[in-house]
């Protein structure tokens, strides 16, 4: 049995400070880093190339290289223990209905991870009805976890994949590009629990978000800022808090 369906553990690598908070920064170096973080966020959202060690590579490859070298370079988080061989990667669906050739960055991230880290990627979830994009909505109009849960469904043709997860007792890592407060991940978390409930299997589920949004300029440090935290559902408000 799952210990707490209202709390989800996650890790991230990057952080960014939205443009509206830049005016409150007085330190020049911090301001420079904050502006850079916005550029990186846009690069991530479009899965564009970055320059790494003199080469132009997709940012998804840079993320993979960072993770695979994190432990040997002593970068703070134990990614090897997080991305274990007994876990599968499930990309978080976009807020819109995904059609053929539609950009789906979480799937691009998960696909690159699966190839470079020898992990299985399964597009288990699909969006049935669109929801508002959190980053582009006013606080009162942002979809809540229940909105995400109700708009999601099991993708077609996944029966064999589910049986494999159950039979081999695999864990699940939800993969997303940018996390704001965590409502999307919480809704996906609940939907997966619902899917596996009929199998009487409760997989260990956690989240990987390439980048997290910082809403307090005093808490912003730098664009590359590995972090481990939790998303907690607040039943009284129907929303989430993220540490």
pLDDT tens-digit readout, 130-156: 998 877 777 778 899 999 999 999 999
CA torsion angle for 240, 177, 108, 114 (degrees, to 10)?
A: -70
In angstroms, what CA-CA distances link 207 with 99, 119, 128, 242? 24, 15, 22, 12
Picking from 96, 123, 121, 92, the residue whose alpha carbon sits closest to that of residue 187 is: 92
Above pLDDT 90, what percent of the chain? 85
Confidence at 1, pLDDT banded by 50, 70, 90: very low
Helix residue spans in the chain (DSSP H): 28-45, 59-70, 79-82, 105-117, 145-151, 159-167, 183-197
| Per-residue pLDDT at 75 | 65
Average pLDDT, the chain: 93
pLDDT at 210 over 70: yes
- Give the mean model confidence (pLDDT) for residues 202-207: 96
Task: Supply the DSSP symbol for 124.
Answer: -
In this structure, of 63-67, 73-77, 111-115, 187-191, the range with the lowest mean pLDDT score is: 73-77
Q: What phi and psi, each to the nearest 5 degrees, are found at residue 45?
A: -60, -25
- What is the chain's Cα-based Rg? 18
Question: Residue 81 pLDDT > 90, yes or no?
Answer: no
Cβ–Cβ < 8 Å for 50, 57: yes
Q: What are phi and psi of 193, to 5 degrees?
A: -60, -40
The residues with which 213 forms a beta bridge, in sequence order, are: 16
CA 197 – CA 166 distance, rounded (Å): 11
In sequence order, the 6+-apart residues with CB closer than 8 A to the CB of 27 are none
Cα gap 174→187, rounded to integer Å? 11
Distance linking the first and last C-alpha atoms of the chain: 25
CB neighbourhood size of 130 (10 A): 12
- Please count the other Cβ atoms lying within 10 Å of the Cβ belonging to residue 67: 22
Q: What is the pLDDT of residues 184-195, one digit of tens each?
A: 999 999 999 999
Residue 106 burial by CB count (10 A; 0-12/13-18/19+): exposed, middle or buried? buried
Tokens of 235: 């039943």
């Amino acid at each position: 049995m799952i210990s707490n369906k209202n709390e989800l553990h996650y890790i991230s690598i990057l952080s960014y400070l939205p443009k509206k908070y830049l005016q409150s920064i007085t330190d020049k170096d911090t301001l420079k880093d904050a502006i850079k973080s916005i550029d990186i966020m846009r690069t991530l959202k479009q899965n564009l190339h970055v320059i790494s060690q003199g080469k132009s590579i997709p940012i998804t490859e840079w993320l993979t290289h960072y993770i695979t070298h994190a432990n040997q370079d002593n970068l703070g988080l134990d990614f090897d223990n997080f991305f274990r061989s007994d876990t599968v990667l499930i990309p978080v669906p976009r807020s819109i209905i995904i059609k053929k050739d539609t950009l789906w960055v979480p799937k691009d991230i998960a696909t690159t991870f699966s190839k470079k880290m020898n992990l299985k990627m399964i597009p288990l979830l699909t969006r049935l009805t669109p929801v508002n994009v959190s980053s582009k909505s006013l606080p009162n109009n942002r979809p809540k976890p229940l909105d995400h849960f109700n708009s999601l469904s099991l993708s077609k043709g996944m029966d064999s994949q589910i049986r494999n997860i159950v039979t081999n007792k695999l864990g699940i890592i939800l993969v997303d590009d940018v996390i704001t407060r965590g409502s999307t991940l919480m809704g996906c978390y609940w939907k997966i629990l619902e899917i596996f409930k009929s199998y009487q299997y409760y997989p260990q589920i956690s989240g990987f978000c390439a980048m997290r949004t910082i809403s307090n300029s005093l808490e912003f440090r730098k664009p590359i800022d590995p972090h481990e935290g939790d998303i907690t559902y607040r039943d009284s408000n129907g929303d989430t808090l993220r540490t």
